[in-house]
Amino acid sequence: MSDLAANPQVSPNTLAQLRLQYGLDQPLQKKYFSWLSNVAMGDLGFSFVYQRPIRELIAGRVWNTVLLNGIALGLAWIFGIAISLAAAEKRGLGWLANVASTLLVSTPTVLLALVLLALAIPLGLPVGGIGGLKHLILPVCAVSAVWLPVVIRHARAALDQALREPYITTARAKGVTRTRVLVHHALRNALNPLTALFGLSVSALLSASLPVEVIMGWPGIGQLTYDAVLKRDIFLVMDLAMVSALLLLAGNLLGDLLAYISDARLRQ
């Protein structure tokens, strides 16, 4: 609105009319509560820049972000735990996992995304955009790489701790195979501290996926947020921040559920 006010071609009359139309002449608390009640009823307002209801804009994008982050999250946790299990079995692999995770955790996401993009052509993968499964590969790699080293680190520490417990020795003495001890006895107990990290991982991935979406042209809410900031559509930015908070809340809820499922003690 201040941009319009600075424009000499817009008359004060038009400005006053616009203010009236969008309710900008109302006091702040009234504006806030009308916004709140609209949001509660699913009306996110209207984007001035895109000239479309914000709800439509976000609805078309949010599932792309959920898809990207969901797959990246799943892959980071599954691969992270699998690598830690393998590393617990073989010392040499453990060293390799250490070096790789240290390198990976030190790589800025933007750099990784850029390098992956540079590799897209030689690998025959699409550069940006959305479509089939092939389009997902690079963004998912870039996003999940943010959390993979963290999982490896914590899972290895938790497994190390669990493997030192007396019940492991008991199980081994009773003749349970190494693999079974590792998966059924050590991992089961190591999972418990890891579930506390789940909510954190959702937050980290959402943050990392914003630059990745921008660089790789993935049409999610991260890219939309970036565009909205550049086009100065403050309402859209605000609603998108709220949606990202909702996604984070959903992730935390999922984390609590997983903790409940993985730990029998919580169910009693």
Partner 1 sequence: MTLLRRAAWCVLAVALLVSIAPGFFALHPPQRQFREYPYAPPGVHGGNVFLLGTDEFGRDVYSRICYGASVSLLLAPAAVGVSLALALLLGMIAGYRAGWVDTLVTRLGEVFLALPWFYFVIALRAALPLHLSPRAAALTLFALLGGLGWAVPARLFRGITRRLMSEDFVQAARALGAGRSRVLFVHVLPGLWPAARAQLLLSLPAFILTEVNLSFLGLGITDPTPTLGNLLTPLQQYSVLTSYPWMLAPAVVIMLVFLALQEVSQQQRSSTWDQ
Phi, psi of 63 (to 5 degrees): -70, -30
- To partner 1, the closest distance from the beta carbon of 204 in angstroms equals 8
Nearest alpha carbon to residue 222 among 235, 213, 231: 213
Can you tell me the distance from the alpha carbon of 132 to that of 221, in angstroms, rounded to the nearest whole number? 19
Inter-residue long-range contacts of 180-188, CB under 8 Å, 24+ positions, other chains counted: 182/85, 182/88, 182/89, 183/85, 186/88, 186/159, 186/162, 187/81, 187/85, 187/159, 187/162, 188/262
Region 21-60 residues binding partner 1, contact defined as CB under 8 A: none
Cβ proximity to partner 1: between 80 and 220 the closer is 220
- To partner 1, the closest distance from the beta carbon of 154 in angstroms equals 14
- 232 in contact with partner 1 (CB under 8 A): yes
- 118 in contact with partner 1 (CB under 8 A): yes
With CB under 8 A as the contact rule, the residue among 103, 183, 253, 261 that binds partner 1 is 103
* Count of positions on this chain that bind partner 1 (CB under 8 A): 40
DSSP letter assigned to residue 182: I
Element (H, E) at 108: none
With CB under 8 A as the contact rule, the residue among 248, 256, 258, 263 that binds partner 1 is 248
With CB under 8 A as the contact rule, the residue among 18, 75, 105, 163 that binds partner 1 is 105
- 108 in contact with partner 1 (CB under 8 A): yes
Alpha helical stretches, state H, the chain: 2-6, 12-21, 28-40, 54-89, 91-105, 109-123, 133-163, 166-173, 178-180, 188-195, 198-216, 221-230, 234-262
Angle of the 133-163 helix axis to the 109-123 helix axis, nearest 10: 130
- To partner 1, the closest distance from the beta carbon of 24 in angstroms equals 16
With CB under 8 A as the contact rule, the residue among 210, 218, 224, 259 that binds partner 1 is 210
The site map against partner 1 for 168-207 (x = CB under 8 A) is ----------------------------------xxx-xx
- 161 in contact with partner 1 (CB under 8 A): no
With CB under 8 A as the contact rule, the residue among 208, 220, 224, 259 that binds partner 1 is 208
Q: Are 175 and 188 in contact (CB under 8 A)?
A: no
Q: What six digits make up the tokens of 59?
A: 């609805």
Enumerate binding residues for partner 1 (CB under 8 A).
102-103, 105-111, 114, 117-118, 121, 127, 202-204, 206-208, 210-211, 214-215, 225-226, 228-230, 232, 234, 237-238, 240-241, 244-245, 247-249
